[in-house]
Amino acid sequence: MPAISFFEEDIIYKLKNKTAVRKWLKDNIEAEGFKLKELNYIFCSDDYLLQINQQYLDHDTYTDVVTFDNSEEEGVIVSDIFISIDRIRENASKFKVTEEHELHRVIIHGALHLLGYKDKSVTDKQKMTSKEDFYLDKRGF
């Protein structure tokens, strides 16, 4: 059975609907033709994620998500995805959506990176956002 796990690093945060989120992610990953082996989501603070961004990516900026692809075989997902709950809360307010909706957007965004989607160019960002919206609309919870 593929493992999707949720952890907190330097904060206390409990994800709602864990079982439904796991099924949603697994279904979406398989729909893209990938096999899910292990996917870990680590919820943390802005400061914690900033340290990761600086240490591993040489970026000195706050971000909402950092995805590490640990896969050793093509088409098989093994990953750690770090998400700043501080950024989720701020962006939810900024974009006038619920925190849960913004968190789900970032959760699927991190997974989409593992599936080959990029977001550096305008065109890639548009494709990524479109795919996020597509999968967000598939949530049944």
- Checking if the pLDDT of 6 tops 90, the result is yes
Dist CA 130 CA 117 (whole Å): 11
Contact assessment for residue 35 and residue 76, using Cβ atoms and an 8 Å cutoff: yes
Confidence bin at 2 (pLDDT 50/70/90): low
Measured from the Cβ of residue 70, the count of other Cβ atoms closer than 10 Å reads 13
- Checking if the pLDDT of 1 tops 60, the result is no
Q: Give the mean model confidence (pLDDT) for residues 6-35.
A: 96
**pLDDT for residue 45:** 98
4 torsion bin: left (phi>0), alpha (psi -120 to 50), beta (else): beta
Q: Give the mean model confidence (pLDDT) for residues 129-135.
A: 97
Q: Give the mean model confidence (pLDDT) for residues 8-31.
A: 96
**pLDDT one-digit tens code per residue, 48-100:** 999 999 999 989 999 999 999 999 999 999 999 999 999 999 999 999 999 99
**pLDDT one-digit tens code per residue, 18-27:** 999 999 999 9
What contacts 136, CB < 8 A, 6 or more positions away?
101, 104, 105, 108
Instruction: Please tell me the total number of residues recorded for the chain in this structure.
Output: 141
3 state DSSP class of 96: coil
What contacts 42, CB < 8 A, 6 or more positions away?
7, 8, 9, 80, 81, 82, 83
Contact assessment for residue 111 and residue 138, using Cβ atoms and an 8 Å cutoff: no
Dist CA 115 CA 60 (whole Å): 26
